[in-house]
Amino acid sequence: MKLKHRVFQYLIFLGFILPIVVMAVFSYAHLSRDLNRAVFDRRAAMAEIAATFAKEKLDHFVDLGISFSSRPYFVKFVKDGNWKDAAEILRNTLADFSFIHLFFLTDTEGTVRAGLPRDDELIGENFVFRDWYKGVSRDWRPYVSEVYETRYTPFYKVVAIAVPIKDEEGRPIGIMVFLVKLDVFTQWVGTYKFGASGFLFIVDHHGHIVAHPGFPPQGDIIDFSGVPSVRKALKGEEGSLLFYNDIEKQERLLVFKPVPHYGWGCVVTQSSREAFMVRDDTLKIAGILYLIALFLSSIIMIFILRYISAHEVTEEKIRRLNAELARRLVQLKDVNKELEAFSYSVSHDLRAPLRSIDGFSHIILEEYADRFDEKGRDYFKRIRAAAQHMAELIDDLLSLARVSRSELHFEEVDLSALAHKIAGSLKERHPGRDVEFLISPGMTARGDSLLLEGALINLLENSWKFTSKHVRAKIEFGVFKEKGKDVFFVRDDGAGFDMNYASKLFGAFQRLHTQGEFPGTGIGLVTARRILHRHGGRIWAEGAVEKGATFYFTLGG
Amino acid sequence: MHNRNILLVEDNLDDVELTLRAFKKNNIANEIIVVNDGVCALDYLFGQGKYKGRNIEDIPQVILLDLKLPKLDGHEVLRRIRADELTRLLPVVIMTSSKEEQDLIESYKNGANSYVRKPVDFNQFVDAVKQLGFYWLLLNEAPPVEKGR
């Protein structure tokens, strides 16, 4: 029963907590995913901006080259083989573009014809091996080269922008090349920083670093083609990955993006710890909040269950007690029924033999008296007396049983009037006795009138009997207040009793006198006491031998 | 109609003896029919069983009915007597040892005419029978016997 109850409680608890746990886990996962995506999206957006920006930058260079190379005079000079003049036309214009480190013109075979600023060493040199020549000569379209080192001191690391020079029919007649130092890109990439560890780097189509804030622009050319993010970007893919950097001893988040059209790649990178810091902090707080919520709701649930189970236990207890009470009541009813059957049987069956004993003894005395002597006749008289006494005993016992059993009907009872009535009947039944009754007027009490009369009869008859040896007697019935309660008393100046035996006064069949002194059954006072007890009252006695007795009693309520 | 029977329903033979003696002492000459249980009492009244063929219109003047009886108790006998047209007016005196309130109430409810408690003291018993006889046999006018049932 108890175990079942426990299990039930656990089930309720789980049923309540489990959905909360599931919800918490679900929303935690959801939040984690959202935050994660936000991190990646932000980086992806950055990479996108960087890639777009890089493309625009290169477009700008190329556009510049096209605008230079398509000037009519310029084209005319090139066409005429007047390379020097062609270069001179652009001298002033080029001065405005500080990022152009070096400028020269080659013929379609890649041999330098003119350069700006004038570099005589350069003229006549052939650059067919250069990436830019291979690129531009492939389909005679503008081309941005790989990173490379120039051949002369101080061996600048540059990117070449090669633009074909075409005549009116669109035939290539020469190549215009300008070199941009990597510093230009590095400077730009250097401004592109976020957080403490976030930066952007750009690689050319071979995976060589164009710009990386961690490397000096004029240092060695660095090959990043083996780096996974770079490899992917160069393959035209875009995306992100986590990469453990052995040198930095930390994981980095890399978001890569190809630079459209030019085959270069952009990579935005940041240490994972930093990139995910906000996410991790938020998740940490969310996790703590969820745990607190879970903890609180568990506690609340436990309290609720405790409360309910305490209630249930109490209810269960009450139910059990009620059931027990009902069972007892049934038992009591059974016992009462048995008692009734018993008293009935006593009343009926025990009296019949007595009647026979008495009756036939009487007949013998009547019809056969002459066959017995005085002694014999006396014995028959004793038999008859004994039978009658036993009948009285039976009657008294039955009335005692009735007193205990009968229902009480409460009403206002005039005790003074009852006492007068009983006194009158006693005087009538026993004329010739000189007994003075002193009954206080106006005594009333709440109780069952029949039973109270019974109690009074027993008490007054008791006094009447025990004053019978006195020539004159006085029986008093009165009341006084003690602690706000009415204490009634019945006092006589009769035989009295020894206080040592006071406790025996109210025991069934207990007698302080012999049958010869005062006849009786020993049940009268017991009956009176039981009646008073049933009214919630009590009775006690005071007395002394030959000094009379006083019976005090109270009624409850 | 003066010397109609008295039906005494009593299982205790001692009581029967004492009752008969009390009647005799009181010079009551009516014939007293004695039956020892409730079934016999009804058999007598309704002319059945061993009383088959008896003239059932010869109704007793009074029935002295004990309550505690074998087979059918006094209450049931009384109920049957009251339930039958022929006997419903028949005076029934409950004569019993019991002084129980429930017996008294039950008896009067069932239509007993009188309730007498047999005293243990034989003198009182004789006195009681004397008064019963005086009242029910002399003073009381018995209801007319309804014929043609």
Contact call for B98 and A354, based on CB within 8 A:
no
A117: helix, coil or strand?
A: coil
Q: Which residue from A50, A94, A451 is spatially nearest to A264, judged by alpha carbons?
A: A50
Q: Report the alpha-carbon angle A250-A255-A260, nearest 5.
A: 150
Chain A nearest-CA distance from B20, in A, is 12
CA distances from A379 to A121, A329, A376, A436 (A): 177, 50, 5, 39
> Tokens in use for A77?
């000079």
> Tokens in use for A313?
């236990």
Chain B residue numbers touching A361 (CB-CB < 8 A) = 122
Within 8 A by CB and 6+ apart from A333, the residues are: none
Tens of pLDDT, residue by residue over B53-90, are 888 888 898 999 998 888 888 999 999 999 998 888 88
Task: Count Cβ atoms within 10 A of the Cβ of residue A478 and give its class: 0-12 exposed, 13-18 middle, 19 or more buried.
Answer: middle
B1: pLDDT strictly greater than 60: no
Q: Which residue from A103, A97, A95, A109 is spatially nearest to A69, judged by alpha carbons?
A: A103
The helix (run of H) or strand (run of E) holding residue A114 is strand A112-116
| Candidates A344, A353, A363; nearest CB to B100 | A344
Chain A residue numbers touching B99 (CB-CB < 8 A) = 347, 395, 398
> What pLDDT tens digit does each residue of chain A (557 aa) get?
566 777 877 888 888 788 888 888 888 888 888 888 888 888 888 888 888 888 998 998 899 888 888 888 888 888 888 888 888 888 877 778 878 888 889 999 989 888 876 566 778 888 889 999 999 999 899 999 999 988 877 788 999 999 999 988 888 999 999 888 888 888 888 887 777 888 889 999 999 999 988 888 888 888 888 888 888 888 888 888 888 877 778 888 888 999 988 889 999 888 888 888 888 888 889 889 888 988 888 888 888 888 887 887 888 889 999 999 999 988 888 887 787 777 777 777 788 888 889 889 988 988 898 888 989 889 888 898 888 888 888 888 888 777 877 788 889 999 999 999 999 999 999 888 899 999 999 999 999 988 999 999 999 999 999 998 888 999 999 999 988 889 999 999 988 888 888 878 887 777 777 777 787 777 888 889 989 988 989 999 998 888 899 999 998 75
CB A174 within 8 A of CB A107: yes
Within 8 A by CB and 6+ apart from A388, the residues are: A354, A358, B120, B121
Chain A nearest-CA distance from B53, in A, is 35
Q: Which residue of A has its CA nearest to B101?
A: A402
Side chain identity at A16, as an amino acid letter?
A: F
Q: What is the pLDDT of residue A487?
A: 94
Q: Which residue from A289, A99, A236 is spatially nearest to A178, judged by alpha carbons?
A: A99
Chain B residue numbers touching A353 (CB-CB < 8 A) = 14
| Candidates B12, B101, B102; nearest CB to A352 | B12
Chain B residue numbers touching A395 (CB-CB < 8 A) = 99
The dihedral region occupied by A78, where left means phi > 0, alpha psi between -120 and 50, and beta the remainder, is alpha
Q: Which residue from B31, B23, B30 is spatially nearest to B127, judged by alpha carbons?
A: B23
Q: What is the pLDDT of residue A3?
A: 64
Chain B residue numbers touching A402 (CB-CB < 8 A) = 101
Within 8 A by CB and 6+ apart from A379, the residues are: none
Contact call for A348 and B68, based on CB within 8 A:
yes
- Please name every residue paired with A254 in a beta bridge, in sequence order, or none if there are none: A241, A269
Q: Which residue from A202, A245, A243 is spatially nearest to A224, judged by alpha carbons?
A: A202
DSSP code string of A507-528 = STT--SS-TTTS---S-HHHHH
**A contact test, residue of B97, B101, B106 with most A CBs within 10 A:** B97
Q: How far apart are CA A229 and CA A280, in angstroms?
A: 24
Contact call for A388 and B121, based on CB within 8 A:
yes
Chain A residues with at least one Cβ partner in B under 8 Å: 340, 343-344, 347-349, 351-356, 358-363, 384, 387-388, 391, 395, 398, 402
Q: How far apart are CA A506 and CA A541, in angstroms?
A: 10
Strands, E, within A384-440: which ranges? Answer: 410-414, 434-439
Q: What is the pLDDT of residue B149?
A: 43
Contact call for A355 and B122, based on CB within 8 A:
yes
CB B91 within 8 A of CB B112: no
Within 8 A by CB and 6+ apart from A288, the residues are: none
- Please name every residue paired with A446 in a beta bridge, in sequence order, or none if there are none: A412
A108: helix, coil or strand?
A: coil
Q: Which residue of B has its CA nearest to A391?
A: B120
| Candidates B102, B103, B118; nearest CB to A355 | B118
Q: What is the pLDDT of residue A188?
A: 84
Q: Which residue of B has its CA nearest to A393?
A: B120
CB A544 within 8 A of CB A499: yes
Q: What is the ipTM of this complex?
A: 0.78
Chain A nearest-CA distance from B76, in A, is 17
Contact call for B97 and A398, based on CB within 8 A:
no
DSSP code string of A288-353 = HHHHHHHHHHHHHHHHHHHHHHHHHHHHHHHHHHHHHHHHHHHHHHHHHHHHHHHHHHIIIIIHHH
CB B116 within 8 A of CB B40: no
CB A240 within 8 A of CB A253: yes
List the domains of chain B with CATH numbers.
6-138 (3.40.50.2300)
Q: At what angle do helices A351-367 and B122-133 cross, to 10 degrees?
A: 90
CB A488 within 8 A of CB A478: yes
B148: pLDDT strictly greater than 50: no
**A contact test, residue of B19, B94, B120 with most A CBs within 10 A:** B120
Chain B residue numbers touching A344 (CB-CB < 8 A) = 98, 100, 103
CA distances from A436 to A454, A460, A463, A474, A548 (A): 21, 12, 12, 5, 14
Contact call for A388 and B125, based on CB within 8 A:
no
Dihedral over Cα of A350, A352, A356, A362: its sign: positive
The owner of tokens 């062609």 is: A86
CA distances from A464 to A397, A534, A541, A552 (A): 21, 25, 16, 16
Q: How far apart are CA A423 and CA A419, in angstroms?
A: 6
CB A183 within 8 A of CB A217: yes
Contact call for A348 and B122, based on CB within 8 A:
no
Burial string for A114-153 (b: 16+ CB within 10 Å, else e) reads bbbeeeeebbeeebeebbbbbbbbeebebbbbbbbebeee
| Candidates A343, A388, A402; nearest CB to B120 | A388
Beta carbons within 10 angstroms of residue B39's beta carbon: 17
Q: Which residue of B has its CA nearest to A381?
A: B121
3-class secondary structure for A176-189? EEEEEEHHHHHHHH
List the domains of chain A with CATH numbers.
16-275 (3.30.450.20), 406-553 (3.30.565.10)
**B contact test, residue of A346, A356, A361 with most B CBs within 10 A:** A356
B115: helix, coil or strand?
A: strand
Chain B residues with at least one Cβ partner in A under 8 Å: 12, 14-15, 17-18, 21, 67-68, 96-103, 118-123, 125
Contact call for A347 and B122, based on CB within 8 A:
no
Chain A nearest-CA distance from B103, in A, is 9
pTM of the prediction? Answer: 0.47
CA distances from A318 to A315, A325, B49 (A): 5, 10, 60
Q: Where are the alpha helices (DSSP H) in A240-276?
A: 272-275
The owner of tokens 């089930």 is: A11
Chain B residue numbers touching A349 (CB-CB < 8 A) = 68, 97
Q: How far apart are CA A304 and CA A13, in angstroms?
A: 10
Contact call for A347 and B100, based on CB within 8 A:
yes
Side chain identity at A319, as an amino acid letter?
A: R
Within 8 A by CB and 6+ apart from B119, the residues are: A355, B125, B128
Q: What is the pLDDT of residue A455?
A: 92
CB A148 within 8 A of CB A223: no
A174: helix, coil or strand?
A: strand
